[in-house]
Structure 1
Amino acid sequence: MRIAILSFVAGVAILQTAPVLPERVVALALIVLALACVAGARLVPQLRYAWAVAGGLALGYGWAALVAGAVLAHELPKDVEGKDLTIIGTVDSLPYVFDGGVRFDFAVERSEHEVVPPRIVLSWYENMRGAERQLGDVAPGERWRLTVRLQRPHGNANPHGFDYEVWLLEQGLRATGYVRADAANARLDAFVPSPGNFVERTRAWLRERIQRALPEREYAGVIVALVVGDQRAISQSDWKIFNRTGISHLVSISGLHITMVAGLFALAAAALWRRSFFTQAQLPLLVPAQKIAALTGAGVALMYVLLAGFGIPAQRTLYMLAVVAAAVWSGRTTSISHVLAIALGLVVLLDPWAVLASGFWLSFGAVAAILFATSGRVRGARQGWRHALRLAAHTQMAVTLGLVPLTMLLFGQVSVASPIANAVAIPLVSFVVTPLALVGSVAPPLLSDLLLQAAHGCMVALAALLKLISAVPWAVWTARVPEPWAFACAVVGILWLLAPRGWPHRWAGLAACLPLLGAADSRPAPGTVTLTALDVGQGMAMLVETSDHRLLYDTGASYAPGADAGNRVIVPYLRARGIHALDGMVVSHSDTDHSGGALSILDEVRTDWVLSSLPLDYGVPTKTRHHVRCAAGQTWRWDGVQFSILHPAEASYGDAALKSNARSCVLRIVAGDRAVLLAGDIEAPQEAALLANRAEVRADVLLVPHHGSGTSSTTTFLDAVKPSIAVFQLGYRNRYHHPKPEVWNRYGQRGIVRLRSDEAGAITVDIPGAVMTREYRREHPRYWYNG
């Protein structure tokens, strides 16, 4: 059975790498083939393992294809994007209130104009003109009539980046949009009864109680996460500390928390049942107390998991407890590996996209590491507290070491301080903070406030310790994301290292991990340059690499408080590449779609100097180690590649009337006989000034000025630059309607190859020689990408 389940999971994972979905008839044929393999295993038992592998692979691939096809069938027609639509439906999730708006899932019941997917995600912004309602008053289960504008699912597509499109697909959300200001917007019903709405309304009630008891408290978001699984109020600075210390798995409803709560209720139920609730009913004669305990534990776990939002670690724990409860009630014994395998199969059966989530691999990987490393040790758990302490230490070491290959593959870093931090955090969060938060969230008002404030106080003390640990330079080991062969070697090495006692030379397993920890980042050859235009939405961010230097030109946009292209796209990309420092950064001008991620990058990545046209009292110049105003005539040479600033003129800084676009830093890069021009947001007057000053603007690759706006890319400028490739960095269906049709056509009429990040994802250009381009969406096609 275990082989069949693992093969099933492998089949699902293979499907999730497919560029297109197979036809429905093919998927059904694969499921029929899987059933035939079951019959084959009965007829030829000698080949049962081969049948199990073949049947599992066929069933996994076919099942995942059927589920994906069913969800993708509910697509928003392209000709409906951007239209005003009136829809009626219910708020289908716990709303997230952010600065200036609220976001929530919406279950559509009826659309008065067009076909709309059954589930969408909406944002309602406070600054919408004519909006009559105060934000934050939408609640789960309410029925609303809303006027909205929708678009098909679309997200940034970058190497090692978060795939927002597949996340929406997994949630069954087939369109995104926002509420339009309209007098017809109205709440139609205060609550529409359904199991899902009841659960979400309960989560909202619990969150409101916690927020009311802990107003403006720094770690109120952590308490909310421990009770209802909503992590969105935890700040990015706190996540940074939690990740560096390796305790982020505790700042949610984890498997450990669910097991603890279920275990406490199971023990209480068994004790009361044995005593027949202090009556003379003799209940244990009717049903054994062990069965009541198992049923109670599984039921409590189900309720807690529903409150948690049904995350993967919570699902894994729920299914394992359910399997154990079923075994107790049926009178059968089962091994823990069978329990884990069944839970694995159920998670993937119900959610085929779970295999794409890092939490899936970390959750099951942690349990598998514990089972493998503690085999032969658990039986001695009653030998006293010293043995229990040794066993706990060994388990923590097993989890830390066992997950090293996975964490390096997924995040490009390992928390070296994790064992120390977890030794304090696990008992404190699991046995003090979580129980206080849970009881406090449902207790009477006065007691509730006291308990929640006590839980918060414990978190404040823990956070103070974690900040000290996080500040230690060696707290985190970082390296580039490993190649598949290095990852495989590390897995073998870790298994060797964690093998049971008696296994020869166990410490030799560390040698197999060396390629994983010491992988060097890739670099261009001397005299050449590689450009990577990252997909940051409506904004610019281009990494320029020579053989020994790295330069970042612009830093993308600021999306929301605490969220920007720096911490969401650029830093994860640099970390995955093993790039720990930048030799320079150019911030062309102060518009937030170019400078929005700069501070986050400076916080995370050592940067030698910053060249910009920003005001000197702006945040970036005051925070960087060495800041210089960009001015025409500045030049430097790295590894045989020439860099020159062509604009703005030094005198322009004295003209207060100039817009920030007009002062964009224009950078020209020359490698061999090829050139690149990065033009920022200059407009027609600045293009004319460059030509009037006889600046050398000829370039093979042009980063299109101002994202293709109608105020840039004049015919005379394009004829002077004569690019063969034009890179448009812009957001999908951006509100500026970039690129303007006439500008887009202007490039096409000159035979210029046009690449746009909203369609291609990240774009990589290699020069000199023949200019080679790579498009992320084309190199990594997936069936869910918006066509």
Structure 2
Amino acid sequence: MSLAILVFVIGVLGLQLQAHLPDMAWIWALPLLASAWGLPRAGRWSMLRRALLLVFFFVSGFFYAAFSAEQRLAEQLPKAWEGVDINMVGVVASLPVAAERGQRFEFDVERVLTPGAVVPSHVQLSTYTRDFVGQPLPDAINVHAGQRWQLTVRLRRPHANQNPHVMDMEAVWFSRDIRALGSVRERSPHTLLSDQVWQFPYVIDMMREQIATRFDTVLAQQPYVGVLKALAIGDQSAIPAAQWQLYQRTGITHIISISGSHVTMLAGLMFALVYFIWRRSARLTLSLPARRAAVLAGAVTATGYVLLAGFGVPAQRTLYMLWVVALLLWSGRTLAPARILAWALLVVVLLDPWAVLAAGFWLSFGAVGVLLYATGARVGDVHWLRAWWQSQWAVTLALAPVLLLLFGQVSTVSPLANAVAIPLVSFLITPLALLGSIPYMDWALYSAHALMAACVWSLQQFAALPMWTQAQPAVWQVLLALAGALWMLLPRGFPARWLGAVWMLPALLVTPQQPRLGELWVDAIDVGQGLSVLVRTAHHALLFDAGPQYTSTADTGNRILAPYLRGEGVTQLDVLVLSHDDNDHTGGAASLLQSVPVAHIYTSLPDTHIIFSGAISHISQCLPGQGWQWDGVTFEMLYPTSESYGEVNRKDNHRSCVMKVSSAGGSVLLTADIEAGDERYLLDNERSELAATLLIAPHHGSRTSSTPDFINVVQPRLTVFTVGYQNRFGHPRGDVVARYAQMGSALARSDRDGLVAIKFAPDQVMQVQYWRQQQQHYWWDDGYDKQ
């Protein structure tokens, strides 16, 4: 049965890897496959019977996930209702997350009041209390979990940036059934219809919000209140980015979230408490045996904690396993631990077929599976300390290839950091945080915070040690490394266990694909409404601009560029060009400089700019005539003029760095945000240098740039517009797009195509890859007007 469940889950995963949903007519193959149950269990038909039944379970999982996906895709926001005011009534269906300018929350739509409007039943909304400069907005609202509101909103389809090695937010939204995103209109009337909606899911969220408010009140301005909220109610939104980096670097993120160990610990404490009390009462023992009562109390406590903590996959896995164990103990039966894990796996996937898309799913079930594998065949008594250390070693070794595939890095200090953090967090900090959620138990919160501060201090000492970082390995390399890890974890005395280390080498010694001498690779990274272009030669890498900053803690540098460069095996940048002082071009630079070494910076920004505080790179102004050669590829700076730096009132766009990169196979012109006057200067002074095979469209395709004369001189075979989906500027403008199309240029745009990768090689045709075409998924939004 365990094998059948595993094959069913593989079938669910197979569906999630599809670019398109299958024709549901094929589901009629299931009855034919199910007829294999009628074949003899023994004899020559037994192997065929087993094979057909395994195919049956795979196809069942595949079409179960397909049916679920069809139901979810049936709800979507029509294109005609994007960006339009819609009046509707619904309930705040999540714990509101505080943002810099307001709140973000999920909303269950009950009624749509705007005639003819079609809206999905579950959306994510943002409400703003402050404007872009931080001033309070009049009539701003604050929402709370479980409230029923009548709101006027503007929605858009769930569309996100798409790049290799970067989290797919469209998959995250789809798995959470968020079928549209939008904002509450500030100057439209809003009405609170009910302060509390007494339905089960909303009551849980109301309780979670009350606890979060208590934590914020008691531990106001304390640095680790976000961690305590994560441990008590699963709300990770208040953990600062710097702290997350520390936890990731030391490999303890699994215990900062609601992990299985926390659920098991709490259930075990309740079991012990109830068993201790129950067995001392004859009346209670006569009504129900103490062991059964304790088992029931532990399971119910675990259920309440998991619900209060947001019902994450690791907690779900532990909860279902505990309930299976509880039912077995209640009935007096036994079941192998592997089967218990298999049943928990099945329940998780049946309730949420998209759980297989989450890294936590594989890390959670994988960790438990490895522990069962590594300890199940051992005989004899082992000291508890040695057993614990062996368990840590087994999990670290087996999950290292998976972590490299998912994140491109592995913490080398994880066993040591976990040796300190697990006892503190699981047995002291988490129980105290939960106790502190009860009114008048402030001392427990203060104690939990003090212990967390001590834990963080010890983690900071470990964080100084290096991490293993490399290019993302291929799937076959990860599978081979997993097999090697499992081989190494075989019992002592098994021959040739060292071969497992050899099988792990291909995943650990990945050589990323690089251009050859004379080749030029250009990646127009999808950063939304902004610009960031990676240029690579055989032995060098240059990044032109660093995309926008979203909030004070989130920007393109840490959300997109750092993981993308790591996944591509770019460990350092030889040159970073920051074209001009606009957020959508330099917003991600500061965090990028903290993550990736940069040898030299060319920019039109002053070297005293706050971005460069702490930077050790050599900084030069962009000036015409600057240039160099790398690996047979020529780099030339064409703009701005030296005089422009003395013009204090000059608009930043008119001081954009412009660069031409030329190779034997083709060239690229990087123009940042130049406008018509700057194009005229280039035509008058650099006309001979402007012709290019590839053009990154000036100023994202605005009406103030891409003049006909400029386009006719550049004559690009491919033009890339780096724009954000449904951006408020309307870029690229239709008339500008038409100019390039009339000239005969092929057109690409990041909001429609995702990352655009172009390769130039001597004596070869330009190769172009569009990430959204190359790596399609059925849930990706395709609501574009094709141009």
TM-score, normalised via structure 2 length: 0.96
Structure 1 position 666 matched with structure 2 position 658: yes
Structure 1 position 481 matched with structure 2 position 482: no
Contact 1:87 1:145 in 2 (8 A): yes
Aligned to 1:552: 543
Measure how far apart 1:325 and its partner are: 1.1
SS, match of residue 550 in structure 2: strand
Structure 1 position 504 matched with structure 2 position 498: no
Counterparts of 1:233 and 1:546, CA distance in 2? 41
Equivalent residue for 1:212, pick from 214, 217, 222: 217
Structure 1 position 89 matched with structure 2 position 90: yes
SS, match of residue 737 in structure 1: coil
Measure how far apart 1:289 and its partner are: 2.1
Counterparts of 2:650 and 2:379, CA distance in 1? 73
SS, match of residue 334 in structure 1: coil
SS, match of residue 674 in structure 2: coil
Measure how far apart 1:142 and its partner are: 0.3
Measure how far apart 1:286 and its partner are: 3.9
SS, match of residue 381 in structure 2: helix
Question: 1:565–1:4: structure 2 CA closer, same or farther, 3 Å change rule?
Answer: same
Counterparts of 2:453 and 2:418, CA distance in 1? 16
Deviates more, 1:329-338 or 1:709-718: 329-338
Measure how far apart 1:714 and its partner are: 0.5
**Sequence identity of aligned pairs in percent?**
45
Equivalent residue for 2:406, pick from 391, 410, 422: 410
Question: 1:428–1:91: structure 2 CA closer, same or farther, 3 Å change rule?
Answer: same
Measure how far apart 1:455 and its partner are: 0.7
Question: 1:30–1:94: structure 2 CA closer, same or farther, 3 Å change rule?
Answer: farther
Equivalent residue for 1:430, pick from 417, 426, 430: 426
Measure how far apart 1:131 and its partner are: 4.8
Aligned to 2:452: 459
Equivalent residue for 2:636, pick from 644, 650, 654: 644
- 1:243 is aligned with what amino acid? Q
Contact 2:572 2:598 in 1 (8 A): yes
Give the 5 Å matches for 1:710-749. 710-749=703-742
Measure how far apart 1:152 and its partner are: 0.8
Provide, for residues 54-73 of structure 1, a one-character-per-residue CA deviation record: whole Å limited to 9, x for no partner: 12111100100010110110
Aligned to 1:782: 777
Give the 5 Å matches for 1:10-159. 10-26=10-26, 28-29=27-28, 31-32=30-31, 35-38=34-37, 47-113=48-114, 114-127=117-130, 131-135=137-141, 137-159=142-164
Equivalent residue for 1:229, pick from 224, 230, 234: 234
Contact 1:19 1:782 in 2 (8 A): yes
SS, match of residue 560 in structure 1: coil
Question: 1:30–1:563: structure 2 CA closer, same or farther, 3 Å change rule?
Answer: farther
- 2:28 is aligned with what amino acid? A
Deviates more, 1:181-190 or 1:774-783: 181-190
Provide, for residues 126-149 of structure 1, a one-character-per-residue CA deviation record: whole Å limited to 9, x for no partner: 2469954445x3111100011100
Measure how far apart 1:183 and its partner are: 4.2
Question: 1:174–1:30: structure 2 CA closer, same or farther, 3 Å change rule?
Answer: farther
Provide, for residues 177-202 of structure 1, a one-character-per-residue CA deviation record: whole Å limited to 9, x for no partner: 00112342121110111100000001
Counterparts of 1:98 and 1:498, CA distance in 2? 46
SS, match of residue 690 in structure 2: coil
Aligned to 1:384: none
Provide, for residues 9-57 of structure 1, a one-character-per-residue CA deviation record: whole Å limited to 9, x for no partner: 110111011111123443x435545644555587965545323311211
Give the 5 Å matches for 1:34-433. 35-38=34-37, 47-113=48-114, 114-127=117-130, 131-135=137-141, 137-276=142-281, 280-281=282-283, 283-377=284-378, 380=381, 387-433=383-429
Contact 2:665 2:760 in 1 (8 A): no
Contact 2:146 2:202 in 1 (8 A): yes
SS, match of residue 326 in structure 1: helix
Measure how far apart 1:621 and its partner are: 3.3
Structure 1 position 540 matched with structure 2 position 546: no
Contact 1:375 1:500 in 2 (8 A): no
**Unpaired runs of at least 5, structure 2:** 783-787
Contact 1:130 1:182 in 2 (8 A): no
Structure 1 position 588 matched with structure 2 position 584: no
SS, match of residue 89 in structure 2: strand
Contact 2:549 2:583 in 1 (8 A): yes
Contact 1:377 1:391 in 2 (8 A): no
Counterparts of 1:177 and 1:541, CA distance in 2? 26
Deviates more, 1:399-408 or 1:483-492: 483-492
Measure how far apart 1:312 and its partner are: 0.8
Aligned to 2:522: 531
Measure how far apart 1:519 and its partner are: 0.9
Measure how far apart 1:330 and its partner are: 2.4
Provide, for residues 534-553 of structure 1, a one-character-per-residue CA deviation record: whole Å limited to 9, x for no partner: 11111101110100000011
Counterparts of 1:601 and 1:579, CA distance in 2? 13
- 1:99 is aligned with what amino acid? E
Structure 1 position 613 matched with structure 2 position 608: no
**Unpaired runs of at least 5, structure 1:** 382-386
Contact 2:102 2:126 in 1 (8 A): yes
Measure how far apart 1:89 and its partner are: 0.4
Measure how far apart 1:590 and its partner are: 1.1
- 1:780 is aligned with what amino acid? Q
Counterparts of 2:573 and 2:395, CA distance in 1? 33
Contact 2:139 2:187 in 1 (8 A): no
Instruction: Provide the aligned C-alpha RMSD in A.
Output: 1.6
Contact 2:9 2:61 in 1 (8 A): yes
Contact 2:519 2:665 in 1 (8 A): no
Provide, for residues 549-599 of structure 1, a one-character-per-residue CA deviation record: whole Å limited to 9, x for no partner: 000111111011211111111100111122211111101111011001111
SS, match of residue 506 in structure 1: coil
Contact 2:665 2:765 in 1 (8 A): no
Counterparts of 2:285 and 2:630, CA distance in 1? 81
Deviates more, 1:494-503 or 1:715-724: 494-503
SS, match of residue 769 in structure 2: strand
TM-score, normalised via structure 1 length: 0.96
Question: 1:199–1:35: structure 2 CA closer, same or farther, 3 Å change rule?
Answer: farther
Measure how far apart 1:461 and its partner are: 1.1
Provide, for residues 515-536 of structure 1, a one-character-per-residue CA deviation record: whole Å limited to 9, x for no partner: 1111112110111110111111
